[in-house]
Structure 1
């Protein structure tokens, strides 16, 4: 279903994604982080819907539809390193730092800081070009929020 999209995303020098494709790719990354600890529960799903609804001005139905497509994309997407690097190359920098905050928000949604999510977030932040300090600040802001 997403073969053409993924092909464009992981080419050596991907073009900048249009707004709809960027939303889908970033939502899939949120899903990947939420699934990384082996538990993908209603709390995390609700947080993903809230994050993408707020971020993109979507209704509850629109956010749930985007998340559903993102869940499918996440299962078909390549390994996290290639997928995240492709997002970095295709999404403007100013969006990436706020993406890390959103990722932390999803990872912390269940009230636990699982080692798998923590390790994945450190990797993803680095691959997105967000430094450790900014990632830590994003985590702290997400924990308060």
Structure 2
């Protein structure tokens, strides 16, 4: 009986509901992964993720923050970046994939620094999404220019 009572106290702590792995949540999880890849998940990056989600999916700030929180759980649960990127590749057209790449760069650049591990991760994602290296460079440069104007 004591074990049953104790299990009731621990049930809420161990139960985590993950969001569906659709294109929206896959992109959100990739945004979180891009922000965390340098082992520093900074406020500026969180703020940019919320901005991207709000803009792309017409969410108000609270809805965007809630979606980001769900995507953070998904990012932890899905260790394979390529799987998340393939969900996007299969679900959205090329123009939206390019927008996703530019959004990923905006998150990476939100803290004012670009690190090699961030570059490596984004180049892997770009390749999985089918974005050519030339086009990826254009999207990167556009994100850098936008970050410098903020």
Q: TM-score, normalized by length of structure 2?
A: 0.81
Show the counterpart of 2:18. 2
| Structure 1: tracts of 5 or more residues without a match | 7-20
Show the counterpart of 1:58. 59
Residue-by-residue CA offset, 1:59-110 (whole Å, 9 max, x unaligned): 1111101101000010011411222123212223221011000000001110
Show the counterpart of 2:26. 25
Three-state SS of the structure 2 residue aligned to 1:136 is helix
Bigger share in helix: 2
Show the counterpart of 1:117. 118
1: CA distance, partners of 2:87 / 2:58: 24
Three-state SS of the structure 2 residue aligned to 1:58 is coil
2: CA distance, partners of 1:97 / 1:81: 16
| Structure 2: tracts of 5 or more residues without a match | 1-16
Number of residue pairs the alignment of both structures matches: 130
Q: Structure 2 matches for 1:1-145, cutoff 5 A?
A: 1-2=17-18, 5-6=20-21, 21-145=22-146
User: Alpha-carbon deviation of 1:126?
Assistant: 0.6
1: CA distance, partners of 2:101 / 2:87: 15
Q: TM-score, normalized by length of structure 1?
A: 0.84
2: CA distance, partners of 1:92 / 1:35: 26
Q: Which runs of 4+ in 1 moved over 6 A?
A: none
Is this contact kept in 1: 2:104–2:122, CA < 8 A?
Answer: yes
